[in-house]
Amino acid sequence: MKTLYLYLRDFSCEETEDEVLYSGTVGWLIQGEEGAETIEGVSHVLDLKTDISEHHDGSRFNSTILFLDDSYTLFVRETVPGRSVPQIRRALPFAVENYLSDDLENTHIAHGPISRGNAIDCVVIDSETLANMLQVLKLSDIYPTTCTTIGMQIPRPEEEHDAHVVMDDSNAWLRTSENLALLNLDSLSDAVSSISGHRDPVPTVRIWNFGNGGLDFFDESMYEQEVFDNSDRSLISFAAEHYDASSCVNLLQGKYSTKENATVNVRRWVMTGVFGVVCLYAYIVLQTSEGVWAMFKANSVQNQMRATFVEIYDEEPSGRNIVQQMQRRLGVGADTSREFDSLIERLAEVVGSPAYSPTIKSLRYSAGRQELDVEYRISDYESMETFTEALENNDLTVVPGNATTERENSVTATLKLSLP
C-alpha cells in the first residue's frame, strides 16, 4: 500500500467573473512498502494529478497526508476549565478567540485530544482558505485523509527550556514544549535566547538546517547545540519521516471531515475491541516471561494502547487498565471469545469500504447469544439494504431491526450480527 505526502505552500485563490484562479506549489512524496523506492517531486497545484500519475498506477492511495505551511495557521496551546470533556470542547472556541485577529465564525479551530486539567493543542486557520485548498486538490482527484502542518512534525522537546528548530534559507520553525511558531531568520536568535539562554542546567537546542546559510548568529555559551545538516534533503521528506498521527492535530474535523477520513476513523473505532483483546493477550504472555526485555515490551504495548485510545476516543484513558476501558465501551469482558473477534473483523471489513460509509453509533456484544448488536446511521434506505447485503456476503448472519428517518439523507437503523 502506498502513502502520498503533500506539502502545500505559496497558495492563493482569486475568483473572477468567469473562473477561479488557483496558484500554489506542492511538494509531494510517494512512499511505498518498506524497502520500496520513495519518489519525490514538486508541482504547480494544478499540475499535481498529471505529475503524480507518471509515477503511480492510478489506484487510490492507502492514505494521503497534507502538510500546510504554518504561515496559514496559528498554533495555540490552551487549558480550558470544565467538568467534562463535552463541556471543555464547547468552551474551547471561546478560549481560543482571544488569540484571533478575525471573527470566530470565519475561523476553523481544530484540536488535539481533550482531557480535564490538561492543555489542549489547537491549530487555527481561516475557513475559506482551508476550503479553497481542499477544493483545488479535489480538482486533481486528491482527498486528504489527514491535514496538518509542517511545524507539527517537529518533535516536541521534553524539557521546558529546550528548543527544536527547523530552518531553511528564509524561515525558521521554532518548537518548545508549549509553543510552535514560524519566524523569519532575523528574529530567530532572539526568540531562542529568550527561551533557552543562560539557564542552569544548560538547555539543548536541536537544529535541522535545510538551508545553505551558517549558524554563527547563535551564542554557543547560552545552550548546547545539536545540528543536523539537511541541505541535501527536502522539508517534505523530513515531515514524512517524523509524521505521527497521534502527536499532531488533524485539521479535517467538523464540516471538513471527508467521507474517506470518516471511514478510516470508523474502521479504527470498530477495530478497538480486537485491538484491546490482542494487547491483553500480549500483556499477559509478557508478564509470564522474565527479564528486562519482557518488561520493555509490556510498556511498549501499554504506550501503543494509550495512543490508540486517544486517537479513537479523543480523550485520555482514566487509568492504567486501558484494555478494560476499551472492553467496557464495547460491552465485552476479558473472556471475549473468538466469535466476537470474527464478528468485529468481518464488520470492519465492510464498514471500511468507501462504498458504504455508515456511521457506527453503538456496538454491544452478548456472549450468551454470541450476537453483536449494531446501531448505525446511513444516507438512505437503498444504501441500508446494500450495506446489509454486503454484510451477508461477508459470511455474517444479519437480522435487521428498526429503521427510522432522522432527517433528510439520514437513516438510523439497528441490526444483529452472528456467525453462520
pLDDT tens readout for residues 293-323? 444 444 555 666 666 666 555 567 777 666 6
Do 170 and 128 meet the contact criterion of CB atoms below 8 Å apart? Answer: no
Lowest mean pLDDT among 26-40, 280-294, 299-313, 333-347: 280-294
Does the structure show a pLDDT above 90 at 41? yes
Q: Can you give the pLDDT at residue 288?
A: 40
pLDDT of residue 233 exceeding 80, the answer is yes
Number of neighbours of residue 42 by Cβ within 10 angstroms:
14
* 58-62, 91-95, 249-253, 344-348: least confidently modelled range: 58-62
Give mean pLDDT, residues 362-374: 78
pLDDT digits (tens, 9 = 90+) for 402-414: 888 866 668 888 9
Least confident among 200-204, 206-210, 304-308: 304-308
Is the pLDDT at 354 greater than 50, yes or no?
A: yes
How far apart (Å, rounded) are the C-alpha atoms in residues 330 and 178?
A: 35
The answer to whether residues 156 and 257 touch, using CB atoms and an 8 Å cutoff, is no
pLDDT, position 251: 93
Specify the CATH architecture of the domain 263-418.
2-Layer Sandwich (3.30)
Residues 6+ apart with CB under 8 A from 358: 266, 351, 376, 377, 378, 383, 387
pLDDT value, residue 262? 43
User: Residue 230 above 80 pLDDT?
Assistant: yes
- Report the pLDDT averaged over residues 94-122: 88
Domain with CATH 3.30.420 in the chain: 154-232
Question: Where are the domain boundaries for CATH 3.30.1360.100 in the chain?
Answer: 263-418
Question: CA-to-CA distance for 118 and 15, rounded, in angstroms?
Answer: 42
Q: Is residue 177 within 8 Å of 158, Cβ to Cβ?
A: yes
pLDDT at 109 over 90: yes
DSSP string for 101-169: SS-GGGEEEEE----TTS-EEEEEEEHHHHHHHHHHHHTTT---SEEEESGGGSPPPSSTT-EEEEE-S
pLDDT at 190 over 80: yes
Element (H, E) at 8: strand 3-15
Tell me if the bond preceding 201 is cis, omega within 30° of 0: yes
The closest alpha carbon to 205, from 224, 187, 220, belongs to: 224
Residue 337 has pLDDT above 60, yes or no: no
Question: Looking at the predicted structure, is the pLDDT value of residue 71 above 50?
Answer: yes
User: Does residue 132 register a pLDDT over 50?
Assistant: yes
Number of Cβ within 10 Å of residue 134's Cβ equals 18
CATH number of this structure's domain 154-232, picked from the four choices 3.40.50, 3.30.420, 3.30.70, 3.30.460: 3.30.420
pLDDT of 404 reads 85
Q: From edge to edge, which strands make up the β-sheet containing 39-44?
A: 39-44, 20-31, 3-15, 63-68, 146-149
Q: How far apart are CA 408 and CA 416, in angstroms?
A: 25
Contact between residue 266 and residue 361 where contact means Cβ atoms under 8 Å apart? no
Q: What is the rounded CA–CA span in Å between residue 51 and residue 138? A: 15
- The secondary structure of residue 398, as a DSSP letter, is E
Q: Which of 4 and 330 is assigned the larger pLDDT?
A: 4
Largest CA distance in the chain: 73
Which helix (H) or strand (E) segment is 270 a member of? helix 259-270
**pLDDT in the model for residue 300:** 52
Whether the pLDDT of residue 74 is over 90: the answer is yes
Helices 292-313 and 272-287: crossing angle in degrees, nearest 10, is: 160
pLDDT at res. 263: 41
382 burial (CB, 10 Å; 0-12 / 13-18 / 19+) is exposed
Q: Which three cell numbers stand for residue 366?
A: 452478548
23: how many CB neighbours lie within 10 A of its CB?
Answer: 13
Burial of 18 (0-12, 13-18, 19+ CB in 10 A): exposed
Answer yes or no: is pLDDT of 10 > 90: yes
Higher-confidence residue of 197 and 242: namely: 242
pLDDT for residue 105 is more than 80: yes
Amino acid at 304: Q
Q: Say if residues 359 and 376 touch (Cβ distance below 8 Å).
A: yes
pLDDT of residue 5: 96
- Count of CB atoms situated within 10 Å of the CB of 418: 15
How high is the pLDDT of residue 208?
Answer: 93
| Pairwise CA distance, residues 133 & 252, whole Å | 12
Contact 166, 208 (CB under 8 A): yes
Q: Are 154 and 207 in contact (CB under 8 A)?
A: no
**Would you say the pTM of this structure is higher than 0.85?**
no
